[in-house]
Chains A and B, each alone.
Chain A
Amino acid sequence: MSRNIRALSARHNLKTTPFELLVESSKKTGCLSEYQLKKISQQTHLPVAHLMATASFYDFLKPENHNKKAYICNGTSCLLRGRQKQLHSALLKKYTDNEIGEIRCLGHCHHGEAYIENDRVLDVSHCYSGANENADKISFYSLSAVSIFDNQYETIEACYQSVLLDRQLIKQQLNDSKLRGRGGAGFLFSTKLNACASAASEQKYIVCNADEGDPGAFSDRYLLEYKPHLVMAGMLAAAQACGADTGFIYVRAEYPVAQKKIQQAINEFEKTEIFQQTSFCFRLITGAGSYICGEETALLNSIEGLKPEVRTRPPYPAEAGLYSMPTLLSNVETFAAVPWILEHSGAEYAALGNKHSTGTKLVCLDHGFSHPGVYEVEMGYSLKQLVYEAAGGFSNNVKALQIGGPLGCIVPVEMISELTIDFESFDAQGLLLGHAGIIAIPETFPMIDFMRHLFEFMSQESCGKCLPCRLGTQKAYDMLSLAGDQSPVDIHGFNDLLQLLEDGSLCGLGSGLPLPVRNMMKYFNHELADYFSQGEEK
């Protein structure tokens, strides 16, 4: 992390940031030439080496992808659907092999056959028919007696008006609500809010992490596309409480529709009187293709035009976040819950769920379920009921679920009945609820391939800053790739790697990966044993 680059970038603070210049410039010409980089360097005073390196980090900016016309999703759900080859041959009718790239993940896990071209996410049928419209509809089901996200407001104005309360009152209600961050870690939202609110600084920021990169998750995409004002009103409320004047919404490049909807919502907000009264600004920052940007500090670096490498902590964003200013950073679903809490009350919200996990949770079910979509359930809802009743069971034979993204746990189907949708139930089993995107792993899909997929995913998405993650994910992938009957993976070396990732990684990407891997080794040893050398643990 460079103080110099940050300071130079900060000079462009609320105007066009250097990162946005890279993205815009690349969009105009489809690539970033040396000439363009030099021009941006002159404009921003950022060094060319840094701009080149930054651009090379992002899937949609890196030179290897300059000629790409379409990218096929290689997220877990699409991989499991098994339609990528078919999609690829269909695209070959339009493009050369070189022009077809790969991306993770487009968040169309309910279909499992997505590709992106010209800022449109499409599926195989469109590719064949050449149809233009985005036929993607996310099915939303609320299984909760009270829907937090189905709040209806007469006008946009009314939505924002409802959160313009006294600073203390907002803090009080959010304290009472016991709302926990929905991004995966489940951190108490009010703790962050209070830390940011009490930080001594004239300048503070609100940042909404809309970089939902986990395969299997599309609930944030749902909220961004269908309920953008709810998310933004939640941010405005947080800003009121903290004393922030600007809210950044970082929406990933793989979500072009969400980007449009957010921009549209910002335009609508700016026509309200609230905008005049509060002078609060929303800024849409569009990502450029990088999973790690969902990590909070990488995301902040990305906005600042730094390479999105993970920062060391402390300091935490609430003390020194965006441009080193106190920053309240949380995810889409968390912010979207705030208006309901303020309209009703924190206590009313806390009454939902079990005592520790309060409110409702959005759960995404992928195409492996009979009725894929986004489900709103009260915390504590039975997983079994959700899977087998509400979602109608599986569309094929399924042996396990991966819950909470590629770093989420692997739950064999036999265990489904032991779990409820809340943080505590998962913790008790040594598992993680994460953000509760659920992927169904078919009976027919070999676990060794699934494990390779996870390591491949992480080895490509690691920011590369810390040694355990940069080398560990790659070497583990190499070991698994080489593994066969003749040359099994050295179990000691592999376990050492897992332990190193868990203990030594700088962020959750590296330290989170051992969980699903160990789950697989524990529950699917019968499938995997042949690939590993046998031996006593050292």
Chain B
Amino acid sequence: MMKAYINHHEYAFNEGETLYDFVSRHLGSDEIPVLCHEKDLQPFGSCRFCSLEVAQSAEGDRRVMASCHTPVKDGYYIFTHSDRIDRLRSTLMSLLLSDYPDTMLQPSGDALPTPFQKLVKQMSAAGSIYPSGKKQHKIDTSHPYIHFDSSQCIHCFRCVRACDAIQGEMVLAMNGRAYDSEIIFSMNQNVIDSECVSCGRCVQACPTNALTDRYHSKTCHADQHVRTVCTYCGVGCNLDVMLKQGEIKAITAVEDAEVNHGHACLKGRYAFEYYNHPDRLTTPLIRRGNKLEPASWDEALDYIAATLEQIKNENGTQSIAGISSSRCTNEENYLMQKFMRVVIGNNNIDGCARVCHAPTAFGMREVFGTGAATNSIDQIPLADCLLVVGANSTEAHPVTGTKIRQQAIKGVPLIVIDPRRIELVRYASHHLQLRPGTNVALLGMFIYYLITEELLDQPFIETRTEGFDEFKQTALDVDLDQLEAVTGVDRQQVRDAAMAYGQAANAMSFHGLGLTEHYQGSRGVMLLSCIAMMTGNIGRRGVGVNPLRGQNNVQGAADMGVQPKLGAGYLDVADENVRQYYEKHYGRPVPVEQGLTTPEMIHAAAEGQLKALWIMGEDILQTDPDTTHIRSALKNLDFLVVQEIFMTETAHMANVVLPAASHLEKSGTFTNGERRVQKVNKVIEPLADTRADGQIIVDIMNRMGYPQAGYDPAIQLEEISKVVPFFAGVSWDNLGDNGKQWPVAEDGTDTKVLHTEAFKRGKGKFVFTRFVETPELLADDLDEYPFILTTGRRLQHYNCGSMTRRTPNVDVVSNDVLLLNSSDAKRYGIHNDDRVEVRSHQGVTHLKARLTDEVKTGVLFTTFHFPDVAINQLTSGVLDLDANTPEFKVTAVAISKVQ
């Protein structure tokens, strides 16, 4: 055993351990003061407060060493305090104080002290014997969230290092040299004008108040902390919500969270002010004539129950449908599908997965037997090659995005298949910039080269899969000239990328809606899944096929049975045994008739077959394609119920609007994109007269004659664990702080990697599909619509924007803009900030232009966060052939400059 002595006491140390880690491990982290050191960052050796005396023998000559970056050696005698060290630290402090504003040495008001202020107090430091510098200080409050005061900067570089080593944005730097150096954002710009993405990690890292945020999250003196899960995407970051007297004051990222390790993006960390925004719905509303008028809960619920009964009696059970919400908890989604299936009595239940990852669920299920991510996000560093298809993780999945980017920067080969030159491309080794809508063609070429370059994992193919010979034959029988022409990507580039993927020991793929929201969306997912199988990149750590889930609980909603064909736990309701299984648990029969997907519901409403629709937490009018069509369909309904927290475009059309509680106001579980079921803990009581979505469903179930216990995640989880096989070992009490990744065995053991021994479906199934052009681009009058519009998301806003638009995020990004290639802009005489009319077969809207080389000529890009742009007026009714998911990513449009 290797031993060293701390203040003459003997302790064991670990190989390579630093003096600081060694001493802190044995004597606690307060033993050695530090300012520049932080556990998530590499030792830097800047502040020198951690200096210790070290000798080779008990009485030997002592040398001063900085403990944060000096390794312990056998037989070291370490002294944490001595006159020399105390003197050194007080001189350091005196130097710092000579330039530090006297008024900032203590926390103001009831704020907690910063680490620096703590050290000042601990050392009883006051004033300085050294002359004060004549520095000009900069105070920058240009940004709604992140503020900078250079007078409190102690040059520890932690912000610079955090922005670099954690966020990977590298916006911060120490400009200049020596005493005159100073922190800059981008090119010495104000924070708001810089490339800062306001993730707030620098603020968290800063040991003083040089970098602070709007909520003073670092020094918030909370009387209560609640750990919960972010609502803004499928990454599932754990957040620490701080309260004072029951009011939310600040949010920060949880340091020890397995998902995010103290990191978050600006949505999770800062965009919470929506929760008590004056626009929050606080009372039920019932339409009387043209107006939505306030009503009591009893009134509203009675009215709904009576109306639904009446519609059911008059038009049959099939005339009612429900759309559940991926923003809601597992328990709420479970209740919603149960409500439709056993109380209303049909399978007309769908959710927003329909407009995003239904093709993933379908495609991966076809190939593997399970439609969920095969691996875990923390395995990204284990991969030797990363493949990202149709996903802009930097903006849509920021914390996972940083992990992918960190690897790419360090030189791990990264293949990006995307029509846009997204931010990741900057660091990627391969960018296959295909024409939107040609994933299947491109992946076909990719497969072709994996075969011809002999990059197959034959033993894996032979033992674990079926159908490869036929697959191979069809895959080789492709017309490369044609594929090259339709994708617009040089075959050599595809070959190089395929070789990078195929030669990697561990290749890991990620995909997003750029793969799924297409005419051949599910087919694209199937090809991507086959690519993993043929190269043996599945069933172990650091590989696999990993969909990046959009909404916070889109995985969970599907798991809970929010889809017409499959009930809770993905059991096929067409199967008699399955129906009996459900009946046993629900105490009521489960209907056999096939249910409607969301687009089918819209269609049925437009045709007059569907009479009533219940929508929980989704603004389909803004987020689903072809707004005009949806509007007329919704108008055609007899009865529309919307549960919402804000008056959305869809809610405006409702007969009854029910004010729901936000995710901060209820408990439950969310399942993130890596199948991790995590606890959402109620932070505050529901606002005014709002109710948890789950409670609303329970209330209506009871009113309609089904006895359902009140909304309580512990109770519902117990029920779910009995119904959903892969939730067998899940209970509210055993989820712990970091949740569990399903399947969870009865003894509580969870699963990091799927398909390790065998696929869920037994053998993996190879399915090849040829490229087929989308009907959207086969219209007779296509000449009049020469551009392809493709849509996506921006970092600052979430989905329809109803929440983020009601936070200061809107001061960072205040509208949707149209990205168009500079040469196209030139041809149309369009300049930056010009207003452009964009017109499709379906509709027309106006947007501000932004010239870019992010998209190729002929391709336009925008987002769907703002209702005044309402870009989905333009998107088409083309659906994925297998999963009915709308083709948001390809719309034929024409543009003209608005004069």
Contact = CB atoms under 8 A, between A and B. Distances in A.
Interface of A: 1-5, 7-8, 10-11, 34, 37-38, 45, 47-50, 52-53, 56-57, 62, 290, 307, 312-314, 459-468, 470-475, 478-479, 482, 490, 493, 496-497, 499-500, 503-506
B181 A464 contact: yes
A4 B409 contact: yes
Given A52-B173, A464-B174, A468-B48, A474 B187 contact: no
B185 A464 contact: no
Contacts of A490: 129
Contacts of B91: 496-497, 499-500
A503 B176 CA distance: 25
B714 interface: no
B841 to A, nearest CB: 38
Nearest to B156: A467
A7 B409 contact: yes
A475 B177 contact: no
B51 interface: yes
B165 A3 contact: yes
Contacts of B48: 466-468, 504-506
6 contacts: A2-B170, A49-B194, A464-B177, A467-B47, A470-B155, A499-B84
Contacts of B92: 467-468, 500, 504
Given A52-B173, A479-B131, A314 B179 contact: no
Contact of A57 (B45, B84, B176): B176
B165 A4 contact: yes
Q: Which are the 9 A-B pairs with shortest beta-carbon distances?
A: A53-B173, A47-B170, A312-B69, A49-B173, A503-B64, A474-B179, A312-B45, A471-B95, A462-B178
A10 to B, nearest CB: 7
Nearest to B188: A52
B410 A461 contact: no
B133 interface: yes
Contacts of A50: 170, 173
A307 B174 contact: yes
Nearest to A310: B45
B81 interface: no
A503 B178 contact: no
Nearest to B129: A493
B176 A462 contact: no
B186 A464 contact: no
A471 B96 contact: yes
Nearest to A505: B48
B441 interface: no
Interface string B162-194: 001100111111111111010011111000001
A49 B178 contact: no
Contacts of B99: 471
B130 interface: yes
A57 B181 CA distance: 9
Contacts of A506: 45-46, 48, 66
B845 interface: no
B170 A49 contact: yes
Given A464-B177, A471-B179, A503 B133 contact: no
Interface string B190-213: 000011000000000000000000
A11 B411 contact: yes
Contacts of B426: 45
Given A57-B176, A471-B179, A496-B94, 9 more contacts: A38-B187, A48-B187, A52-B175, A62-B177, A312-B45, A465-B45, A467-B48, A468-B48, A493-B130
Contacts of A460: 177-178
A50 B71 CA distance: 29
Nearest to B155: A470
A459 to B, nearest CB: 6
Contacts of A462: 177-179
Contacts of B96: 467, 471
B142 interface: no
B565 to A, nearest CB: 46
A290 B92 CA distance: 26
Nearest to A311: B45
A5 B164 contact: yes
A312 B409 contact: no
A158 to B, nearest CB: 42
A467 B157 CA distance: 11
B88 interface: yes
B165 A2 contact: yes
B566 to A, nearest CB: 44
Contacts of B45: 312, 465-466, 506
Nearest to A538: B87
B179 A470 contact: yes
B406 interface: yes
A470 B87 CA distance: 18
Nearest to A496: B91
A475 B130 contact: yes
A300 to B, nearest CB: 16
B155 A467 contact: yes
A299 to B, nearest CB: 15
Q: Which of A462, A497, A500, A505 has the most CB of B within 10 A?
A: A500
B171 A463 contact: no
A473 B176 CA distance: 16
Nearest to A309: B174
Contact of B133 (A10, A37, A466, A474): A474
A504 B96 CA distance: 14
Nearest to B174: A53
User: Max chain A CB contacts within 10 Å: which of B66, B172, B175, B178?
Assistant: B178
Given A468-B48, A503-B88, A478 B133 contact: yes
A4 B166 CA distance: 10
B102 to A, nearest CB: 17
A50 B195 CA distance: 13
A467 B46 contact: yes
Contact of B186 (A8, A49, A312, A313): A49
Contacts of B29: none
